[in-house]
Every structure is written in C-alpha cells, then in structure tokens.
Amino acid sequence: MKPADIARAILYPVTEISVLVPLLTFWLLVSLASLGGVLGLFIIFLFIVPAIFRFQMIVLEARARDVTPTTPGIEFFNWFGKAWTVFPFLLVVLFTWMTIVVAREFGPAFAILPVIVASIFFPTSVAVLAITHSPLESLNPLALGRLWQRCGATFWVATLFLVVAPWLAVRSEALPWMLTNLVQLFLSFSFFSIVGMLIEPYGLVEDIELPAPVERDASEVADEQEESRTAVLNHAYGFISRGNREGGFRHVFDSILEDPDPVAAWAWFFDRMLKWENQATAMFFAQHYLHDQLQHGEQLPAVKLMLRCRLSDENFRPLPEDLSAAIIACDAYGNSELAAILRQN
C-alpha cells in the first residue's frame, strides 16, 4: 500500500461520479433540512442520516469488491430492506452517547477513551458487516480478530483516519455552515472508502464465515414472516394512503421477491388488503397477483382468485396482457360462465 493509494481512497467520493452525485444530493438535503428547525432535525435524524450510512455501506462493499457502487434510490430513505446497511448508524449513535456520558461523568479529558475504542472497533466492525451482511457477526470478536489477523498490517490506516477525521470535522465548524456540512460529509464518505480499499487486496469478501445457523421451529419462522410482512404492508399503506399507489405496490412486490415463500406472500398481502376500507386497492393488487399465477402456470388458483375478486367487485378483470391466459385457464377448468364474461369487451 502506497501513500498515493490512501490519497486516492480519501478523494474517491469526489473523483467517482457515482458517489459524488449522491454525496452532493445528501449534502443539499441535510442543508435544507437544517433550516427546518426541530422538524428539520427530526427528518435528518430519522431519514437522511440513515440513508447516508446505508449508501456509505454500499460504497464500502463496492470498494471491497473493486466495483462501481450502485446509485441510491428512494428506497434508501426507509428502514426496510437490507437492514444490515443501517446498522453502522446505530453504532455511531451508541458511541456518541457513550462519549457524552463519559465526558459528563468524568470530565472532557476522559472522553478520549470511548473515542479510542470506537476508532479501533468501528472500522473493523463495518468491514466485517460489508463482508457478511450480518450485524451480529460484525460484533463477533472472533470475526473481528480474523479480519485484523489478515489485514492488520495496513488496516491501522482506517483507525488513524477515524481519529483524525473527527478533529478535522470539529475544525471545519469555523467555516460557513453549508461548507461545514460538505466537509463533514466528505470525511465520512472518505472513511468508508478507505475501509473498502484496505480490505479489497486481501480478498476477504468471502473469507469470514458466518456461524452455523441455529435451527428454529416452524412457529418461530411463521412469527418472523408475519412480523416482516406486516411491517412491509404498513409501510406500503403509508405510500398508498398518500396517493402513491405505484410506490406502495413496488415496495410490496420487492418484498415478495425476497420472501422465502412468494406464493404464500402473495396470498397473505391480498387477504390483508381485502380488509382495508378501500377495496379498489385490493383489486388492483389482485390483478398483479393473478398475473404472477398465470405466468407460473397456476391456472386453478388463478380461476379461484378471479371468482373471489368478482365477489367483491363484479367488474373485476385481469390486466389486458393476461386476458387470453385467464380465459384459457377458465376453459381448462370448465368455468365457461367466467370465460364468457371475460370474452365480453
């Protein structure tokens, strides 16, 4: 590792366009929200800062794989999906709280102790997190030790940078406030870039093994699925209730793709939407549910779904591109009446 490599890693956020544009976007969002008083601070803490950490973890992982980071989308501003990317934000909150408590109880001089602990622990933790995608593993002393064993000869650079960066961040407060925000955000992005750069040469992306999974009984798995799907549905309802049906449906569809049992997930979301006051949303969702069934050759379940939908709304029809397949399914299972209805208009 040469000094020029470190310099390139530090400047990476402003030399790589796929990182520079999000960095400037986040900077403008933070600056504008800062003008909003208490509400603005709430928005920064609850939405913008977690999104920043989420993208920074994507940058770290991309640097560790020596690929270009993906551009962040609107999904970065929610707490669902790829939850592991938000975990560093919680660690930062914890270490900040520890520093404040130590300074208050024992004096400012002792506040350096949690800072030193954080400068050693945090770079290693986020590196393991990028490799394993497991918050628990990122706290595992064995995994942290394995990482130091492999790349400790150079990884000290990340620790050193994490000591220097906060000092520079404090010094930057003498600048105009918007420039201060930019400098501090740049330093944060540079840190994650450095960590990724340091572990990339060692090929650690697949090296640190997760512990063997603990077997769980069926009820525990079912409870976890119920909780996860409920969280997704509640978030989607927030979009839909504000008139953004497309955004709400996209959130549900993405979760179904990641669900271990997609067939059950489609049925679960449809059943819950039928309980909403506005049945039209469930009917729109049913069109996509039906599309999935027909795409997978599930003709009998598709016919049953159409009959169920017509009990709620007699005008229910498949999406135009699914009409022919729906009629074929009805004919295949002897429901000539429904097939005749679908052939009309």
Count CB-CB contacts under 10 A for residue 160: 14
The CA R_g of the chain, rounded to the nearest whole Å, is: 25
Q: Is 87 exposed, middle or buried (0-12, 13-18, 19+ CB in 10 A)?
A: buried
pTM for this model (two decimals): 0.57
The residues near 187 (Cβ < 8 Å, ≥ 6 apart) are: 165, 168, 169
Task: Determine the pLDDT at residue 14.
Answer: 92
Q: Give the containing element (helix H, strand E) for 97.
A: helix 87-106
Q: How far apart are CA 197 and CA 191, in angstroms?
A: 10
Rounded average pLDDT over 100-107: 87
For residue 210, name the pLDDT band (cuts at 50, 70, 90): very low
* Residue 78: strand, helix, or coil: coil
Q: What are the structure tokens assigned to 195, written together? A: 């960590």
Domain ranges for the chain: 3-206, 218-343
41-50, 69-78, 197-206: least confident range: 69-78
Give pLDDT, residue 301. 93
Residue type, 328: I
Residue linked to tokens 């990724």: 196
- Judge whether 68 and 241 are in contact, CB under 8 Å: no
- Give the count of beta carbons closer than 10 Å to the beta carbon of residue 1: 13
Asked if 266 and 292 count as a contact pair (C-beta separation under 8 A), the reply is yes
| Average pLDDT of span 275-280 | 86
DSSP letter at 48 equals I
pLDDT tens digits for range 310-337: 988 889 999 999 999 999 999 999 899 9
Give ∠ CA 6-61-161 in degrees, rounded to 5: 35
Distances (CA, A) of 42 to 55, 173, 174, 242: 20, 21, 24, 20
pLDDT digits (tens, 9 = 90+) for 112-126: 888 888 888 999 999
Q: Is 173 exposed, middle or buried (0-12, 13-18, 19+ CB in 10 A)?
A: exposed
Q: Is the pLDDT of residue 55 over 60?
A: yes
36-54: burial string, b at 16+ Cβ within 10 Å, e else = eeeebeebbeebbbbbbbb
pLDDT band with cut points at 50, 70 and 90 for residue 216 = low
- Say whether pLDDT at 211 is over 50: no
* Interatomic CA distance for residues 231 and 236, integer angstroms: 9
| DSSP designation for 79 | S
pLDDT value, residue 190: 94
Complete DSSP assignment for 262-286: HHHHHHHHHHHHHTSS-HHHHHHHH
